[in-house]
Structure 1
Amino acid sequence: MNSLSFVQTYFADYTGRYWIAGGWALDLFADRVRRPHTDVDVLVLARDLDLVAATFTDPRPTVENPNTGVQRPWEPGETLTPGPDVLAFPDDLFPAPVRVMLAASDGDDWVYHRGRGILRKPLDEITLTTADGIPYLAPELVLLFKSRSDRPKDTEDFHDVAADLDPIRRSWLHDHIAGRFPDHPWLPTLI
């Protein structure tokens, strides 16, 4: 997990909340590397963009279109939107590319940016931490994001960790997938 140690070191001076997200977060939850990863997803709160800009000045991250990979300069103070906007550090800065995704929040709650503000969880509940102090996103949130895709790696990730979810996490994930996708193929596994 060399890439994660580099991220932890790089974010040591960042005083806002951040989480390892995506497939790496599921690996941290499962306590094993389940598959190869091409990058590291990091989640920060969109409300902390000024702090991101003040902390990471040299080099400053760029804004990357997640669909095309096209990058453009990011100017501090520019409003970015959770979901479509992603920040990227130069690929040669870390052992694997690091992409920073933005999370919506309200006070002490994470807010699902696709759920009209209805779906939320306390920030402390979505935060898990390794013995080495690396913060990572709770697996039910990672899988909720992955449930919107039919990519084989997302389905593989789900099946790799579904049995490790405790009843509360399984129920939460089931209910929040079923509310949007009542025929989703993962639902029978979560019952």
Structure 2
Amino acid sequence: MDSFDQLRPVRALFDSYPGSYWVAGGWALDLFAGRVRRPHSDVDVLVLARDLDQVAATFTTPSPMVQHPESGTRRPWVPGEQLTPGPDALVFPEDANPCPIQILLAASDADEWVFHRGRGTIRKPLTEITLTSPDGTPYLPPEIVLLFKSRGGRPKDNDDFADVVSLLDADRRCWLRNRIAPNHPWIPELH
């Protein structure tokens, strides 16, 4: 199984980034579990969409590109161009890092993270969405990662849930249970 060494390029890349960032997706669940649970094809990193000017100023060589969410095609990103949290993502050229890094965009409102799907009613204070690994890597808490994964229905998302659900304390379980569909197949495990 891979080691957390694959996250070193992320820490190095974001070392000079002045905004907040979080390792997201499967790697965030691995950091929470304290072990690498499965192979990963890339590293998802979440930044606030409102900080795109900081992204543009920090990552100039190589400059990230916009990746189309369905086709995967890439095009140059013009700093200042508005991107939409959720469907739009930034990626670096394939040869820029040993493990591909994808920058996902988060919606926010003042000091709150806002789940970009739905009506913006799912929120959490920004101060509550950061966990930190022993080596100082910031990552999203599992309940937020699993909220994103609950919408996909992909086998790896269900496997990720099964791998970490027993590690969730009562507060994390309750938060997730109250924000996914009432008939979601994960509900019984969250009680």
Q: Same fold (TM over 0.5)?
A: yes
- In structure 2, the partner of 1:188 is 188
Structure 2 counterpart of 1:190, which letter? L
Task: Report if aligned partners of 1:3, 1:94 keep a CA contact under 8 Å in 2.
Answer: no
Structure 1 counterpart of 2:85, which letter? P
- Deviations 1:29-52 (CA, angstroms, capped at 9, x unpaired): 000000000000000000000000
**Rounded Cα–Cα distance in structure 1 between residues aligned with 2:136 and 2:96:** 21
1:141-156 to structure 2, matched below 5 A, reads: 141-156=144-159
- Deviations 1:51-98 (CA, angstroms, capped at 9, x unpaired): 000000011100001221100010010000000100001122222111
Gaps of 5+ in 2: none
**Rounded Cα–Cα distance in structure 1 between residues aligned with 2:47 and 2:39:** 23
Task: Report if aligned partners of 1:24, 1:40 keep a CA contact under 8 Å in 2.
Answer: yes
Structure 2 counterpart of 1:29, which letter? F
- Report whether the alignment pairs 1:84 with 2:92: no
What secondary structure, in the 3-state scheme, does the structure 1 residue paired with 2:108 have? Answer: strand
Gaps of 5+ in 1: none
User: Residue 65 of structure 1: which of 45, 55, 68 is its match?
Assistant: 68
User: Residue 77 of structure 2: which of 53, 74, 93 is its match?
Assistant: 74
What secondary structure, in the 3-state scheme, does the structure 2 residue paired with 1:92 have? Answer: coil
- In structure 1, the partner of 2:179 is 176
Structure 2 counterpart of 1:144, which letter? L
Query: Deviation of residue 124 (structure 1)?
Result: 1.4
Query: Deviation of residue 3 (structure 1)?
Result: 2.0
The structure 1 segments of at least 4 consecutive aligned residues displaced by more than 6 Å after TM superposition are none
Query: Deviation of residue 8 (structure 1)?
Result: 0.4
User: Residue 32 of structure 1: which of 32, 35, 50 is its match?
Assistant: 35
Aligned residue pairs total: 188
**Rounded Cα–Cα distance in structure 1 between residues aligned with 2:174 and 2:118:** 18
**Rounded Cα–Cα distance in structure 1 between residues aligned with 2:96 and 2:140:** 23
When the two structures are superposed, what TM-score results if normalisation uses the length of structure 1? 0.97
Structure 2 counterpart of 1:85, which letter? D
- In structure 1, the partner of 2:11 is 8
User: Residue 112 of structure 1: which of 111, 115, 135 is its match?
Assistant: 115
Query: Deviation of residue 115 (structure 1)?
Result: 2.8
- In structure 2, the partner of 1:159 is 162
User: Residue 102 of structure 1: which of 102, 105, 123 is its match?
Assistant: 105
User: Residue 17 of structure 1: which of 20, 27, 35 is its match?
Assistant: 20
1:114-153 to structure 2, matched below 5 A, reads: 114-153=117-156
Please, what is the CA RMSD of the aligned residues? 0.7
**Rounded Cα–Cα distance in structure 1 between residues aligned with 2:102 and 2:138:** 16
